[in-house]
Amino acid sequence: MNKGFTLIELLVVVLIIGILAAVALPQYTKAVEKSRAAEAMQVLGDLATAEQIYYMSANKFTKDFSLLDLTFPGACTTVSGELETNSFNVDCKDTTDSIFTCTATRKGGTYTATDTIGIQVTNEGAISRTTGGKFNELVGTQWHI
């Protein structure tokens, strides 16, 4: 007798691998997006904390990240109120002396300008968080500072 696999056996193995891949890939993609959303939430939370500390000393919020006691690992900062990470563009242009507003917009892939994560801090210390687009289901109510 010849030793080896029949064509049917090989097809069954390929079919099983295909089914496993079809189930695993969407779950993997969702896990990656959750981790990227967590990155944005961490950056925004750190920015909010640094802005609160800055507000205590200067009695106003700032758009200039160089004035904050904060470093961004793996991120490039500019003085115009914009920050770019590997996965997000962070924009703090709507910040005033009494309200700090910052929005992280996902870049790349199938994401649009409405797929955002945002934070707002008032001079009274109130913090509000927002999510838009695809991040509503990923973040939900699990975002804490």
Largest CA distance in the chain: 88
Strand order in the sheet with 116-122: 76-77, 82-84, 88-91, 99-106, 116-122, 127-131
Residue 1 resides in a domain: no
Q: Two tokens at 86? A: 């590997």
Torsion of CA 106, 108, 110, 112, to 10 degrees: 50
CB 88 within 8 A of CB 39: yes
Residue 145 resides in a domain: no
Residue 103 resides in a domain: yes
pLDDT tens-digit readout, 40-71: 888 888 888 898 999 999 999 888 888 888 87
**Locus of tokens 């927002």:** 130
pLDDT at 24: 92
Residue (of 47, 34, 49) closest to 82 by Cα position = 47
Residue 2 resides in a domain: no
Residue 106 resides in a domain: yes
pLDDT tens-digit readout, 88-144: 888 887 788 899 998 888 887 778 778 888 889 998 888 888 888 877 777 665 555
Residue 58 resides in a domain: yes
pLDDT at 83: 81
Q: Two tokens at 43? A: 């950056």
Mean pLDDT along residues 16-27: 92
Q: What is the CATH number of the domain that holds 64?
A: 3.30.700
Range of the domain at 73: 7-139
pTM: 0.76
Q: Total structural domains in the chain?
A: 1
